[in-house]
Structure formats: C-alpha cells, structure tokens
Amino acid sequence: MSTILAVDCMGGDKAPKAVFDGLSLVCRERGDVIFHLFGKERVLQKHLKRHPYLAGRSLIFHSPGIIKGTDKARDAIRNGQKSSLYMAIDHVKRGEAHAILSAGNTGAFMGMAKLGFRTISSIMRPAIVSILPTQNGRTVMLDLGANSECNEDHLFQFGVMGALYAQLMLDKKRPTVGLLNIGEEHTKGNDVLRNTYQKMTTLKNAPFKFHGFVEGNDILLGTTDVVVTDGFTGNVALKTAEGTAKFLGDLIKRVFKDSFWGKVAYFLVKGGLKILKSRMDPREYSGAVFIGLNGIAVKTHGSSDKVAFARGAEYAISIVEKDLNKKIKKQIEKINKGKI
C-alpha cells in the first residue's frame, strides 16, 4: 500500500519551488508514495507543470490562506482555518493521508497539530524529536522546541518516547538515555533534573538503559543514543550545533581557496572532504516529528531547499512505515499498568 503524504506547499522560506523540487527527488527514488498538495490551486498547478512525473503521483487541494513565518502562533491558530497548513492537518485527522509534512511556522504547526490530533492517551505533552549526526553515528534528541518549560514527569515521558523512537529509527535494541545537565554528577542541576534522574533510575525493567546526566559536549560525541532535555535548552543546543557545522564548512572552504598550495591540497583530500560535508550537512538530517500526538506531523527547516525537503519527506514516510504512534501507545500502556 502506498504512503500518502499531505504536504503544506506554501510553508517555508523557499516554498513552493523547493517543495516541488524536493518531492520530485523523492519520486525518482520511491514509487510507493502519493502526495496530496495543499496551497493556492493556480500556484500549485503552475509548478506541477514543470514536474510531470510528480503530477502523476499528486492531487491538489485548494487552500487560499497562508501561515507566514512571522505570524504569532495564537493568531494563526485562531484565524488560519483556510490555510494550507491547517487544511493539511485536518486532511490527516480525517484519515485521508498518513502524515503531514511542512516547512512552515513551527509554533503554528505545533499548536494546530496538537489541537487537531490531540495527544496520545496518558502523554502529557508532545515533543519535537529528531536525529543528529555524532562521532559515534547518530543520536536522538528531544525536546527541540515544543516545550520551553518542563517538569520531571514531562522529561520522564520524553525519555520513554525517545528510547522507543531510537529502537525503531536507529535499530537500537536497548538504547542508552542521557539527561542533559550542566554536569555529570547526580547532585548537579535544578530540582526538576534531579527529580527526573530519580524517576529514571527507579523504573524497573525499562526498555532503555539510563546513563545518567550528560553535558553539552556529549551530544555530538554520541555518548548516549538518546538525549533528553526541555524545549528551550534543546532548541538552543540544536541551533548551536547547526551553526557550528556551517562555520566549520565555510572555514574549510576558505582555507583551501585562499592560496595556491591550499588549492593543491584540496585535490589531494577532496574525497575525504566530500564525506565530511555529507556528515555535517544539516539537510541530510532534515525532518523532526512531533512525537506523542495521535497523528504524524513532520517539520522540516524553514529554510529547507529541495534536498532538505526531500529528506524530510523520506523521513515522514519511514515513520509511517514503522508505525511509530501505535508502538508508543503500547509502551505507555505497559508502563501505566506496571508491566515495566
């Protein structure tokens, strides 16, 4: 059975061109996906004419409104019922598609998705989760911006959901979970972090191994398979990592271009540099899911180009195929019944 993605074609800095270019890349790689495209019909038809192969795998749903990146989430939720973002979410809610994909306004997207899908039973708050490249491979991190303030129950549930996510997406049988803090000692941090630490250590037969506290440098070292934190800290850490990757990439370019010998050296190491670029390229890890909702909502970077949007679409498809939400529900039910 084909996966059906509802796509907000008007969200993002480079939409709709990057959206159509990205979806076309996916069509070349996969034959088992159908796209339901939301946006202004005349605009979408114009772009679809340039992608005939994509046209044969797509349906257009006219939505006259657009949620801008500068719109306040509250205003967008209140007044955006005719927007491409809202109508795509509603499409998934009604069972017409398996997941929604958007590069649009994160706050509006989260608010609309939470109202439309509701949280999974017993889940207090959804979180934004994604995969980051590390020295040891890949690491799952959450929350990346949905909840600026969290208590120990929220962080505990993030750990459970993050561990299950790592099992499914990284093929980790018993992932290690770390709690982000300012130090590794169990006495460090505020009351919320220390209480979460205790809650994690007292869970019997847990589906993960609790590593304890980890520090900021542990994220990209890949010390644990999962890193848990609040949305404020997680978003700052993510943006710092992305900025560092861009800084290093630009610095390496200047080093090799600024002199004759630098250009000579480039030809000697360009194979290794291509591998390094691929590992550091944020576009290759584009896509974050709002975990804990009764529907699959995937967010790509607002600045996504065609490559980033294609990777976001592939990411959404993989989450649908792995049936993430159903497995989270089962895991939470086991914990609530004291079976874990």
Does any domain span residue 132?
Answer: yes
Do both 13 and 114 map to the same domain? yes
The reply to whether 159 and 276 lie within a common domain is yes
Band (261; pLDDT cuts 50, 70, 90)? low
The pLDDT of residue 326 is 82
Q: What is the pLDDT of residues 117-170, one digit of tens each?
A: 999 888 899 999 999 888 888 899 999 998 999 999 999 999 999 999 999 889
Between β-strands 127-134 and 137-142, what pairing exists: parallel, antiparallel or unpaired? antiparallel
- pTM of this prediction? 0.87
Same domain, 155 and 112: no
The enclosing domain of 201 has a CATH number of 3.40.718.10
Within-domain flag for 312: yes
What local confidence, expressed as pLDDT, does residue 280 receive?
57
Q: What order of strands is seen across the sheet that includes strand 137-142?
A: 58-62, 33-39, 3-8, 99-102, 296-299, 288-291, 127-134, 137-142, 226-228, 176-180, 209-214
Residue 266 lies in a domain: yes
Contact 44, 84 (CB under 8 A): no
pLDDT digits (tens, 9 = 90+) for 58-88: 999 999 999 998 888 888 889 989 999 999 9
- Two structure tokens written together for 310: 């294609």
Query: In the chain, pLDDT over 70 holds for what percent of residues?
Result: 91
Token readout for 23 is 């979806």
Domain end marker among 249, 267, 290: 290
Of the candidate ranges 191-195, 225-229, 267-271, the one whose mean pLDDT is the lowest:
267-271
Q: What is the pLDDT of residue 73?
A: 87
Residue 339 pLDDT > 60, yes or no? no
Q: Are residues 112 and 159 in the same domain?
A: no
328 in a structural domain: no
Same domain, 46 and 177: no
Determine, yes or no, domain membership for 337.
no
pLDDT tens string 206-219: 778 999 999 999 99
According to the model, what pLDDT value does residue 245 have?
74
Please check the confidence at residue 305 and state whether its pLDDT lies above 70.
Answer: yes
pLDDT band at 258 (very low <50, low <70, confident <90, very high): confident
pLDDT score for 152:
95
Specify whether 116 is located in the same domain as 132: no
Q: Which of 118-132, 147-161, 264-278, 300-314 has the lowest mean pLDDT?
A: 264-278
Q: What is the mean pLDDT of residues 184-202?
A: 91
Q: Are residues 262 and 313 in the same domain?
A: no
Say whether both 233 and 249 belong to one domain.
Answer: yes
Under the banding of pLDDT at 50, 70 and 90, the label for residue 195 is very high
Q: With contact defined as beta carbons under 8 Å apart, do 100 and 92 qualify?
A: yes
Q: Are residues 151 and 203 in the same domain?
A: yes
pLDDT of res. 125: 92
Q: What is the DSSP string of 191-217?
A: HHHHHHHHHHHT-TT-SSEEEEEE-HH
Are residues 152 and 217 located together in one domain of the fold?
A: yes
The whole-number pLDDT of residue 340 equals: 55
Same domain, 61 and 146: no
- How far apart are the C-alpha atoms of 295 and 311, rounded to whole Å? 20
Mean pLDDT of the chain: 87
Range of the domain at 181: 124-290
Report percent pLDDT > 90 for the chain. Answer: 54
Q: Are residues 286 and 297 in the same domain?
A: no
Give a yes or no: residue 97 inside a domain: yes
Please tell me the total count of domains within the chain: 2
Overall average pLDDT of the 271-279 stretch: 59
Three-state DSSP class for 145? Answer: coil
pLDDT at 16 over 90: yes
